[in-house]
Amino acid sequence: MKYLALAAGLFATTTAVAETPTLTIYTYDSFVSDWGPGPAVEEAFEKTCECDLQFVGAGDGASLLARLRLEGARTDADIVLGLDTGLTAAAAETGLFTPHSVSAEYDLPIAWDDPLFVPFDWGYFAFVADAQFDAPGNFRELADSDTSIVIQDPRSSTPGLGLLMWVKTAYGDEAEEIWAGLSDNIVTVTKGWSEAYGLFQEGESDMVLSYTTSPAYHIIAEDDRSKTAVPFEEGHYMQIEVAGKLAGTEQPELADAFLKFMTSDTFQSIIPTTNWMYPAIMPEAGLPDAFDTLIEPEKSLLVPAEKAVELRDQALEEWLRALSQ
Amino acid sequence: MAARAFAIRRGGPGFVAAALVAAVILGPVAAVLWRAGGGGWPGPADWAALRFTLTQATLSTLISVALAVPAARALARRRFVGRRLLITALGAPFILPVIVAVLGLLAVFGRAGTLNAALDAAGLPTVQIYGLHGVVLAHVFFNLPLATRIILQGWQSIPAERFRLAASLGMNAGQVMRHLEWPMLRAVVPGALMVIFAICLSSFAVALTLGGGPRATTVELAIYQAFRFDFDLGRAAVLACIQLALVTMAAIVALRVAQTGGFGAGLDRSLRRFDAETPALRLLDGTVLLLVALFLLTPMVAIVLRGGGAVLDLPGSVWRAAAVSLAVAAASTALALALALPMALAALRRPMIEAVALLGIAASPLVIGVGLFVLINPWTDPTRLALAVTALVNAVMALPFALRVMTPQLIDIRCDFGRLCDSLGMSPRDQLRLVILPRLRRQIGFAAGLAAALSIGDLGVIALFADPEIATLPLQILRLMGAYRMTDAAGAGLLLLVLSLTVFWLLDQGGRADADA
């Protein structure tokens, strides 16, 4: 019966397309969850577009790209939202994306002129610790201390990869040595961000790799001021999250409209307290107060997108060598 | 002769079911290979991952089963108030989502866990859980309950009359062991080893989280890397094939070594162990049960404590997800039984059919998910089929357990009643209705409970297909954690634990309705 109903549903949807146009957006799973920006974004955009906005969740940023590669030109997606600068070069290489028409004044720490991708939010990676904790001020101090950390595996997690690139950009050829020094600080390496953050909250480590914006969640949602992000002297590695339009889209105007909407005040003011990242364009009302308490790194680190893949493979090899001994 | 006839008549549907299962597992792997345009050769890091995977799986399996034998013996020999409740509760670790169970385990054995707090208070050095031993500890925690249940079933398959006879012959516990229990263990233990080895082989998040770093890289993680990092589908598929080949080899060895019981028929009377009624053995069994309960239940208590505060205030979407999970579990359980019963009957004649079912747990969920995606995508949007696919995959994953639970009992039924059925000229249908099903009831109930509970707790492949509107409970827990909501996630974890155990209890009890054992 279930399958019958399902089959009936399939046919019903195929015959009823013409009514309102549908914009399909592939994104990472936490974007579409009830606690992510997805529901509010969908509601706000549908008010203006006379269309049906459909989000499709697919794991995290890297799984998103893998899925797109699996589907190739046949993909149903009109827009892919949630890639970061570590992935955009590989995404551009697929040839599936087409230039956007958005121009905006971004509030990013770096200049943005990518023809294919529009940024929608950004953040800095950072170690999060208890506010009272006497935290080290850089990677060398961390390696020399007995501070314990939980990190994510770069092979299965975006923040994990962010840390890999952070150490690599900060230390270049000395990165492997830094990792060897860190190996006795690392309590464990988890599959994803959630596991690592969960372990940290259970008291398994002094610090966890997360974002500078993480303490804002605890202040706003839990009225808990006990967490802080630890400033590192090397500077902090950035993550800029972007969206791009597929060349094969059947709704090019609608896709353009969405990318434009993404830079609007409405969209941007949803981001800080749902995705817990900085908006790509400062909303008129500014940021919630809690964001004023966050650390602001003096130096932003970021590998240019076109060099990201090459550097990543090298950094991963060093990471594996240093930590497998 | 008659015994063979008993099996042959039931063979047909079993082979169809086995072919279906093989198609569900091997089809996606083949699809990934096809999409990749050929295989990719694993690199040195992949081989290192394979070595680590084999080491941890072998150790985890041997220790789980070695501990399960005294635990099952103690449960088989003793009757006490709350025994059934204990048996059900002991099964809890097995059906929890990995991350929930790991956090419970860490609450006890972690750096800030109760064990280290106690050691510290006593002025003793603290212990470190992260490393190979932590991976093994976690796998024993997960699999000891299953091993215990499988072996306990073996004990219960020895007719009470044999123990009475042994008692009237004045046998002591040692002699009972040699004449009754040892032959049973020879028949049951290889199967338990095989199933648990398959589970440990494809374990991923446990090994990574507790392994302490890239030294603990498993094959499944290597597959992740191939897929996400390098988009090397060929290498991912080849790694998945290696995993499947390993499990198949393990299954062939185990199924050859396993021998049939052949204790003869009994009158299904309740069991009383005259030989074990000495104070020393009482003390031994009591201690074993206490230790096992302590090991398995303390982390459960931690999960209850962590989630207790949040469970009643959970957002509506979590309750909806719970309802979705229950519906998926119902479909998945029905499907698992529909496949397991004919396959178990066919396995009487061709034991190797069980190796097919075992592929289900050994197959890389990522490769299966990607393969199904590749297969479905040309026809329809895979997201629409997310729940159906999840139910199907969950059913296939539960199959090896269902078979392992049913097969030994079926072999006994055949030995005991096959000839009688034949001489009475019973039709296959009547055999099934009058002889097999009534005697298999307890196993069917247990298998159904296991299948349902596993389906509720398993993330399965839905993460790859997720529909934002419909989530299962494990997916919702992951989403809560991903949104910093660790307290709600703990509450949802507790809800899942309660649901799984209740469903398991109901089905398992349903199977034993009036059986006293």
**What is the structure's pLDDT at B509?**
81
Q: Please name the residue of chain A whose CA is at the shortest distance from the CA of residue B463.
A: A59
Contacts B204 to A, Cβ<8 Å: 191
From the CA of B477, how many Å to the nearest CA of chain A?
Answer: 10
Q: What is the tens place of the pLDDT at every residue in A54-69?
A: 998 887 888 888 888 8
Contacts A29 to B, Cβ<8 Å: 463, 466, 478-479, 482
| Backbone phi and psi for residue B501, each to the nearest 5 degrees, phi listed first | -65, -40
B228/A63 Cβ within 8 A: yes
**What is the structure's pLDDT at B60?**
94
B228/A62 Cβ within 8 A: yes
Q: What is the tens place of the pLDDT at every residue in B334-348?
A: 999 999 999 988 888
**What is the structure's pLDDT at B61?**
95
Contacts B210 to A, Cβ<8 Å: 188
Cβ-nearest to B317 among A29, A34, A276? A34
**What is the structure's pLDDT at A208?**
97
A203/B478 Cβ within 8 A: no
Would an 8 Å CB–CB cutoff place A282 in contact with chain B?
no
B512 falls in which pLDDT band (50, 70, 90)? low
B212/A186 Cβ within 8 A: yes
B464 falls in which pLDDT band (50, 70, 90)? low
Q: What is the tens place of the pLDDT at every residue in B156-203?
A: 878 777 888 888 888 887 887 788 888 888 888 988 898 899 888 877
Contacts A176 to B, Cβ<8 Å: none
Q: How far apart are CA B99 and CA B248, in angstroms?
A: 28
Q: How far apart are CA B321 and CA B326, in angstroms?
A: 9
From the CA of A72, how many Å to the nearest CA of chain B?
Answer: 11
Contacts A217 to B, Cβ<8 Å: 484
Strands (E), chain A: 22-27, 52-57, 79-84, 97-98, 117-130, 149-152, 186-190, 207-211, 227-230, 236-246, 278-279, 300-301
Q: How far apart are CA B238 and CA B50, in angstroms?
A: 12
The percentage of chain B sitting over the pLDDT mark of 70, rounded to a whole number, equals 91
A132 vs B457: which has the higher pLDDT: A132
Interface mutation vs chain B, best among A68, A186, A194, most B CBs within 10 Å = A194
From the CA of B20, how many Å to the nearest CA of chain A?
Answer: 18
Structural tokens at position B196: 């648990």
Would an 8 Å CB–CB cutoff place A40 in contact with chain B?
no
Residues of chain A with CATH 3.40.190.10: 2-122+239-292, 123-237+297-323
Could you give all domains of chain B from N- to C-terminal order, each with its CATH number?
Answer: 2-512 (1.10.3720.10)
Q: How far apart are CA B17 and CA A317, in angstroms?
A: 45
- Say which range, A244-258, B74-88, B290-304, has the weakest mean pLDDT: B74-88
- Superfamily (CATH H level) for A2-122+239-292: Periplasmic binding protein-like II (3.40.190.10)
A18 falls in which pLDDT band (50, 70, 90)? low
Are B111 and B126 a contacting pair, CB within 8 Å?
yes
**What is the structure's pLDDT at A13?**
47
Contacts A199 to B, Cβ<8 Å: 103, 106, 110, 209
The whole-chain average pLDDT of chain A stands at 90
What integer is the mean pLDDT of B297-308? 88
Q: What is the tens place of the pLDDT at every residue in A214-248?
A: 999 999 999 999 999 999 999 999 999 999 999 99
The whole-chain average pLDDT of chain B stands at 83
B511 falls in which pLDDT band (50, 70, 90)? low
Q: Using alpha carbons, select from A228, A233, A238 the residue that is nearest to residue A278.
A: A238
Q: Please name the residue of chain B whose CA is at the shortest distance from the CA of residue A321.
A: B214
- Say which range, A63-72, A216-225, B254-263, B289-298, has the weakest mean pLDDT: B254-263
**What is the structure's pLDDT at A10?**
44
Are B505 and B452 a contacting pair, CB within 8 Å?
no
A182 vs B365: which has the higher pLDDT: A182
Q: Please name the residue of chain A whose CA is at the shortest distance from the CA of residue B480.
A: A35
Contacts B463 to A, Cβ<8 Å: 29, 59
- Specify burial of residue B280 (Cβ count, 10 A radius: 0-12, 13-18, 19+): exposed
B381/A186 Cβ within 8 A: no
A136 vs B250: which has the higher pLDDT: A136
Q: How far apart are CA A240 and CA A302, in angstroms?
A: 9
Sign of the CA dihedral with A281 first, then A285, A290, and A293 last: positive
- Read off the amino acid at residue B480: L
Q: What is A123-237+297-323's CATH number, 2.40.50.140, 3.40.50.970, 3.40.190.10, 3.40.50.2300?
A: 3.40.190.10
Interface mutation vs chain A, best among B208, B366, B467, most A CBs within 10 Å = B208
Would an 8 Å CB–CB cutoff place A30 in contact with chain B?
yes
B457, pLDDT greater than 70: yes
Q: What is the tens place of the pLDDT at every residue in B95-127?
A: 777 778 888 888 899 888 889 889 989 888 888
A202/B112 Cβ within 8 A: yes
Return residues 80-139 of A near B (CB < 8 Å): none
Interface mutation vs chain B, best among A35, A69, A165, A309, most B CBs within 10 Å = A35
Q: What is the tens place of the pLDDT at every residue in A267-321?
A: 999 999 999 999 999 999 999 999 999 999 989 999 988 888 889 989 999 998 8
Whether ipTM > 0.90 holds is: no
Structural tokens at position B480: 């809560």
Q: What is the tens place of the pLDDT at every residue in B352-398?
A: 888 888 888 888 888 888 888 888 888 887 777 888 888 888 898 88
A191/B209 Cβ within 8 A: yes
Would an 8 Å CB–CB cutoff place A188 in contact with chain B?
yes
Q: Please name the residue of chain A whose CA is at the shortest distance from the CA of residue B210.
A: A188
B466/A276 Cβ within 8 A: no
B207 vs B102, B132, B139, B141, B513, CA distance in Å?
Answer: 10, 8, 9, 13, 39
How many CB pairs (< 8 A) connect A and B?
158
Q: What is the tens place of the pLDDT at every residue in B401-423?
A: 888 888 878 888 888 888 888 88
B465 vs A27: which has the higher pLDDT: A27
Q: Please name the residue of chain B whose CA is at the shortest distance from the CA of residue A182.
A: B213
What integer is the mean pLDDT of A240-260? 94
Interface mutation vs chain A, best among B103, B374, B459, B479, most A CBs within 10 Å = B479
B385/A198 Cβ within 8 A: no
Q: What is the tens place of the pLDDT at every residue in A91-129?
A: 999 999 999 999 999 999 999 989 999 999 999 999 999
Q: Please name the residue of chain A whose CA is at the shortest distance from the CA of residue B226.
A: A155
B517, pLDDT greater than 50: no
A70/B35 Cβ within 8 A: yes
A17, pLDDT greater than 50: no
